[in-house]
C-alpha cells in the first residue's frame, strides 16, 4: 500500500493507493471497515461487495486524518459491474464530518448503515454521474436493542439543496469510473465528478455549509449496486487536514499473555491477510517467528524458563512489515505481597436509540479502561462475552467464511478497546456463549450433538457452529493460557482450555463451565424446556429438574479433584475462574418466564419490584443441582473463591450445600455494558441474607447491584448497573477484598463510590489450616 503524507507550507497532503497490497480483506492500518467481510482489496483496488437491501451504506473509515477547515478529498470510484441497470438508490462516495473532537475516533469509525446524530454528510455520485450531498445525521427511528438491520430509502438521507449546479452531457446511465472530489472553501463545499482519463467535468454542485458540519472524520461509502463499488487513488489535502499517525490500527491488533510456572505464553492478533504469513516476536535477545493461523488470524508464542524477576519489553511484527506493536511483560509479583486482579465481563456496545456518539454507543469503553488503569491491576480477567454476536451489526451471515470474518470484526473491536490494558499485563480471557454465537450454550461436550426433532438447534445441545469456527474463537481468546490440563478435544471436535495458572501466590483453576453442560431440554423433556425455561404446567424445577447429567463434566471435575488439595510452592490462595455462578440469582414477576428482562421496569433506589419471585433459568449454573453441588464441594475442598460474570448482575454470594454458609464465596462482577439486566428482589424477603434460588440451591447473599434509576446519563447504560470488579488479595492477612465499581466512578474514585454493599471482605481466604 502506498501512503504518502506531505506537509508543505502548512498544507497537509495524503495520498493512497493499493498497488502493492495483495488480495485480502484487510484494507490497511490506516483504515477501519464496516464490516470486515464487506470490503476487500482485489486487483489493486478496494472493493465493497455487500449489496444486501438490509445492509446499506457500507463504510471504510480513514483513521489517520481529520478535517477542520479547508480541504480537498478525491477518489476514483465505479460500479464493479457495468452490465446491470442501476437505480436511484445506488451510489458511492465520501462520508464527511463524522464525529467531532469530543467523540472518540474509534467510536466514529463505526458509523455506517443508518443515519443518526453525529453521522456526518454523504458526498456522493449517483448512477447517472450526478454529484449530491445528503444528511447522515438525522435519525430514522427504530429502537432495536441489538442490531441495526433496516433498509434505508433515499428519503431517509435528506438531500442538501445546492446553490449552483453544472451538469455536462453524459449518458443517461453512467456506469464508468469517475473521479469524485469534495472541496471545502470557507463556507462552501464543491462536489465534482470528472472523467478519470480526460478530467472533463461530468457534474459539479456548490453548497453553502455554514449551518452544516464538515469537520471530523472521513470515510469511503458504498451503497448497494448490483455487485457493489470499487475505489482507488484516494487523496486528502488542505490546510484544514490534521494527521494522526498514532491512530494506525494494525497489522498487530492486540496481544494477550500469561506467565505461569516460568512459562510465557503470548498470542498476537492479526487481521485477515492474504495467504500464509508469519508473526515475529522480539524480546530480550530473542527473535521468534511463528506462523499465523489462517482461521483465527492469531499467532502464539511460548517461551520456557522465563525469568519472572524483571520487567521485559517486547515488540510484535507481521513478518515483512516494520510497524511494531510494543508491550511489557511484567515481573511476577512476590507471593509474599498483595496482588490485585481486575475482573470484567460482558462487552456490549449498543442497546438501542442509536446515536453515533457516547450517548448511543458505549464503545470503546474508554471510561472503564481509564478506571481499570488507575488501579494498576497485576492481572486482568475477562470472564466471557467479549463479543455479542448481534451487537450493532447482525449475527446471521451467508457462509462459514463470513461468520469467521464477522467474529473477527467484533473481536477486533474488543482488541481496540482493551488492547492498551492487555499489552502491558497478564490477562486471562475465556469465551462464553455469545462469543461462539449462542444466546445460551449447552455445549454437551461429552456426546455427539445433533438437532432433535421438536427442539431448537440451541436447545438440542452442542455448538451451533462447526469446530472450525469454535476452535478459531478459542484460539483468539485462550491460546495464551497455560496448556490445557487434558488437551483432548470434546466429543464434537472442539478444543478445550481448562487449565491451571499460578501467578504471584495465586493458584487459579480456569474452567469452561458451558462446554460440557447438558441441555435441560434434553435432560428434562417432561419440563417442556424452551431456551432454558421449564414451561410444563405444574412442573417444579426445585424438585423435578435435577438429573445426573454433566455440568462441568467428568474431565473438569477430575481436574478440580486433584487441584483442590494440591498446593505448590508459595501459593497461598486458590481461585476458580469460570463463566457463570453456581446459583440462579434472579427474580421475575410471579408467573412469568425469561424473555422480557430488557423491558422490565427500573425502580428508583430503595424500591423493589412488588411481585418478584426466584426463578429457575437453566442457562444458569444452578442447574443441574447434582452437578452444581459437586462443583461447590470441590471449591470448598480448596477454600477457593469463585470469580465469574455472565449474569449482568454484580453480586457476592456464599454457596450453601447441606446448609446455608457451608460453602465458599462467589463474586459475579458487573457487566461492562449490557442489554439484558437481571435482578434479585424476592417479594416478602430482604434482598440480602439466606435464600434458596429457583432450583432450591442454598445461598447467602451478601451484596447485589440491582438495576435502579441511577441518575447518571446515558440512563440506557447506567441504569443497567454496568461496571467492573477488583480483588485485592493480601497474603499477610489472608484477606481478599472484593470491590464492585460502577461504570460512572471516575479513575481513582474513593471506596464510597462503589456499588452499595461493597467492598466485601473475605477473611481466612487462604490455604486451609491443617
> Which whole number is the average pLDDT over 599-621?
96
**pLDDT for the residue 86:** 66
Q: Which residues contact 246 (CB under 8 A, 6 or more apart)?
A: none
pLDDT band per the 50, 70, 90 thresholds, residue 141: confident
Identify the bridge partners of residue 191 per DSSP, sorted by sequence position: 182, 205
**pLDDT for the residue 168:** 82
**pLDDT for the residue 171:** 54
**pLDDT for the residue 128:** 87
Q: What does the angle CA 143 – CA 145 – CA 150 come to, to the nearest 5 degrees?
A: 55
> Which whole number is the average pLDDT over 675-699?
97
> Which whole number is the average pLDDT over 460-466?
97
Burial bucket for residue 227 (CB in 10 Å: 0-12, 13-18, 19+): middle
pLDDT band per the 50, 70, 90 thresholds, residue 582: very high
pLDDT, one tens digit per residue, over 337-379 is 999 999 999 999 999 899 999 999 999 999 999 999 999 999 9
Instruction: For 656-689, give the secondary structure using H, E and C.
Output: ECCCCCCCCEEEECCCCECCCCCCCCCCCCCCCE
Above 80 in pLDDT, residue 318? yes
**pLDDT for the residue 7:** 53
pLDDT, one tens digit per residue, over 718-759 is 999 999 999 999 999 999 999 999 999 999 999 999 999 999
Predicted model pTM: 0.96
pLDDT band per the 50, 70, 90 thresholds, residue 170: low
**pLDDT for the residue 11:** 76
End-to-end alpha carbon distance in the chain = 65
**pLDDT for the residue 574:** 98
> Three-state DSSP class for 436?
helix
**pLDDT for the residue 715:** 96
pLDDT, one tens digit per residue, over 507-530 is 999 999 999 999 999 999 999 999
**pLDDT for the residue 116:** 96
> Which whole number is the average pLDDT over 328-336?
98
**Rounded to whole angstroms, how far apart are CA atoms 490 and 674?**
30
* 470, containing H or E segment: helix 467-478
Show contacts of 100-106: CB within 8 Å, 24+ apart. Answer: 100/213, 100/215, 100/216, 101/66, 101/68, 101/215, 101/216, 103/356, 103/357, 103/358, 104/358, 104/364, 104/366, 105/63, 105/66, 105/217, 105/244, 105/247, 106/363, 106/364, 106/416, 106/417
| 21, 33, 181, 251, 503 from 27: Cα distances, Å | 8, 8, 21, 10, 39
Average pLDDT of the chain is: 96
* 221, containing H or E segment: strand 216-223
Above 70 in pLDDT, residue 430? yes
CA-derived radius of gyration, the chain: 27
> Which whole number is the average pLDDT over 165-179?
74
Neighbours of 366 (CB within 10 A): 15
Burial bucket for residue 294 (CB in 10 Å: 0-12, 13-18, 19+): middle
Q: The domain 333-762 is classified under which CATH number: 3.90.660.10, 3.60.21.70, 3.30.70.360, 3.40.50.1820?
A: 3.60.21.70
Above 50 in pLDDT, residue 8? no
Above 70 in pLDDT, residue 172? no
> Omega of the bond prior to 118 within 30 degrees of 0, cis?
no
> Which whole number is the average pLDDT over 688-698?
99
Burial bucket for residue 728 (CB in 10 Å: 0-12, 13-18, 19+): middle
What CATH number belongs to 2-247?
A: 2.60.120.200
**pLDDT for the residue 594:** 84
- Interstrand relation of 427-429 and 499-503 (parallel, antiparallel or unpaired): unpaired
* 418, containing H or E segment: helix 400-422
Q: In the chain, what are the domain boundaries?
A: 2-247, 333-762
Strands of 684-734, DSSP E: 689-692, 698-704, 723-730
Sign of the alpha-carbon dihedral angle for 457, 463, 464, 466: negative
Amino acid at each position: 500500500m502506498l501512503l504518502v503524507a506531505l506537509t508543505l507550507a502548512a498544507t497537509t497532503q495524503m495520498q493512497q493507493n493499493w498497488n502493492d497490497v495483495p488480495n485480502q480483506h484487510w484494507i490497511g492500518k490506516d483504515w477501519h471497515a464496516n464490516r470486515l467481510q464487506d470490503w476487500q482489496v482485489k486487483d489493486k483496488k478496494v472493493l465493497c461487495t455487500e449489496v444486501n437491501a438490509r445492509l446499506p451504506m457500507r463504510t471504510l473509515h480513514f483513521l489517520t486524518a481529520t478535517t477542520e477547515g479547508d480541504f480537498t478529498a478525491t477518489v476514483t470510484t465505479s460500479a464493479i459491474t457495468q452490465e446491470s441497470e442501476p437505480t436511484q438508490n445506488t451510489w458511492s462516495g465520501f462520508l464527511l464530518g463524522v464525529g467531532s473532537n469530543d467523540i472518540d475516533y474509534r467510536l466514529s469509525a463505526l458509523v455506517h448503515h443508518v443515519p443518526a446524530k453525529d453521522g456526518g454528510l454523504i458526498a456522493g455520485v449517483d448512477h447517472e454521474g450526478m454529484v449530491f450531498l445528503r444528511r447522515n445525521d438525522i435519525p430514522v427511528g427504530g429502537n432495536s436493542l441489538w442490531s441495526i438491520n433496516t433498509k434505508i430509502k433515499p428519503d431517509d438521507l435528506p438531500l442538501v439543496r445546492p446553490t449552483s449546479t453544472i451538469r455536462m452531457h453524459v449518458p443517461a446511465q453512467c456506469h464508468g469510473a469517475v473521479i469524485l472530489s469534495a472541496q471545502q472553501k470557507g463556507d462552501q463545499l464543491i462536489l465534482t465528478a470528472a472523467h478519470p482519463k480526460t478530467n472533463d467535468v461530468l457534474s459539479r454542485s456548490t453548497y453553502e455549509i455554514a449551518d452544516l458540519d464538515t469537520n471530523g472524520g472521513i470515510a469511503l461509502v458504498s451503497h448497494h449496486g448490483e455487485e457493489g463499488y470499487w475505489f482507488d487513488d484516494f487523496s486528502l489535502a488542505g490546510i484544514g487536514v490534521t494527521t494522526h499517525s498514532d491512530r494506525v490500527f494494525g497489522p498487530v491488533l492486540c496481544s494477550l499473555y500469561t506467565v505461569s510456572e516460568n512459562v510465557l505464553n503470548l498470542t498476537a492478533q492479526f487481521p485477515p491477510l492474504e495467504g500464509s504469513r508469519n508473526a515475529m516476536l522480539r524480546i530480550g535477545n530473542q527473535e521468534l517467528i511463528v506462523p499465523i493461523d489462517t482461521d483465527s488470524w492469531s499467532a502464539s508464542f511460548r517461551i520456557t524458563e522465563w525469568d519472572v524477576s524483571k520487567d521485559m519489553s517486547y515488540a510484535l511484527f507481521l513478518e515483512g512489515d516494520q510497524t511494531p506493536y510494543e508491550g511489557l511483560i511484567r515481573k511476577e509479583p512476590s507471593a509474599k505481597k498483595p496482588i490485585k486482579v481486575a475482573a470484567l465481563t460482558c462487552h456490549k456496545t449498543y442497546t438501542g436509540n442509536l446515536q453515533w456518539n457516547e450517548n448511543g454507543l458505549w464503545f470503546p469503553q474508554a471510561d472503564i479502561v481509564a478506571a481499570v488503569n488507575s488501579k494498576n491491576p497485576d492481572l486482568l480477567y475477562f470472564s466471557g462475552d467479549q463479543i455479542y454476536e448481534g451487537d450493532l451489526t447482525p449475527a446471521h451471515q451467508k457462509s462459514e467464511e463470513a461468520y469467521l470474518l464477522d467474529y473477527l470484526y467484533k473481536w477486533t473491536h474488543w482488541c481496540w478497546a482493551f488492547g492498551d490494558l492487555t499489552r502491558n499485563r497478564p490477562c486471562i480471557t475465556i469465551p462464553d456463549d455469545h462469543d461462539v454465537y449462542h444466546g445460551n450454550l449447552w455445549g454437551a461436550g461429552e456426546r455427539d450433538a445433533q438437532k432433535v426433532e421438536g427442539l431448537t438447534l440451541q436447545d438440542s445441545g452442542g455448538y451451533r457452529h462447526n469446530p472450525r469456527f469454535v476452535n478459531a474463537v478459542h484460539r483468539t481468546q485462550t491460546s495464551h493460557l497455560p496448556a490445557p490440563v487434558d488437551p483432548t478435544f470434546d466429543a464434537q471436535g472442539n478444543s478445550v482450555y481448562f487449565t491451571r495458572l499460578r501467578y504471584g501466590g495465586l493458584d487459579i483453576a480456569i474452567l469452561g463451565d458451558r462446554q460440557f453442560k447438558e441441555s435441560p431440554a434434553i435432560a428434562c423433556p417432561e419440563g417442556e424446556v424452551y431456551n432454558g425455561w421449564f414451561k410444563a404446567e405444574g412442573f417444579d424445577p426445585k424438585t423435578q429438574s435435577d438429573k445426573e447429567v454433566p455440568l462441568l463434566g467428568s474431565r473438569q471435575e477430575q481436574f478440580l479433584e486433584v487441584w483442590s488439595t494440591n498446593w505448590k510452592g508459595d501459593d497461598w490462595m486458590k481461585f476458580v475462574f469460570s463463566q457463570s455462578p453456581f446459583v440462579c440469582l434472579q427474580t421475575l414477576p410471579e408467573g412469568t418466564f425469561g424473555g422480557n428482562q430488557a423491558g422490565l421496569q427500573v425502580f428508583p433506589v430503595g424500591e423493589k419490584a412488588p411481585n418478584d419471585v426466584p426463578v429457575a433459568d437453566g442457562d444458569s449454573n444452578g442447574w443441574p443441582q447434582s452437578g452444581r453441588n459437586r462443583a461447590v464441594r470441590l471449591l470448598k475442598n480448596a477454600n477457593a473463591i469463585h470469580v465469574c460474570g455472565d449474569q449482568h448482575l454484580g453480586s457476592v454470594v456464599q454457596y450453601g450445600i447441606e446448609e446455608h454458609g457451608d460453602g465458599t464465596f462467589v463474586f459475579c462482577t458487573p457487566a461492562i455494558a449490557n442489554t439484558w439486566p437481571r435482578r434479585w428482589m424476592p417479594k416478602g424477603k430482604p434482598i440480602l441474607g439466606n435464600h434458596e434460588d429457583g432450583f432450591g440451591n442454598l445461598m447467602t447473599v451478601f451484596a447485589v447491584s440491582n438495576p435502579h434509576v441511577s441518575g447518571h446519563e446515558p440512563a440506557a447504560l447506567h441504569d443497567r448497573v454496568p461496571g467492573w470488579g477488583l480483588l485485592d488479595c493480601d497474603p499477610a492477612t489472608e484477606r481478599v477484598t472484593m470491590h464492585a465499581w460502577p461504570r460512572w466512578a471516575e479513575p481513582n474514585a474513593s471506596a464510597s463510590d462503589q456499588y452499595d454493599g461493597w467492598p466485601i471482605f473475605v477473611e481466612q481466604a487462604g490455604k486451609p489450616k491443617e
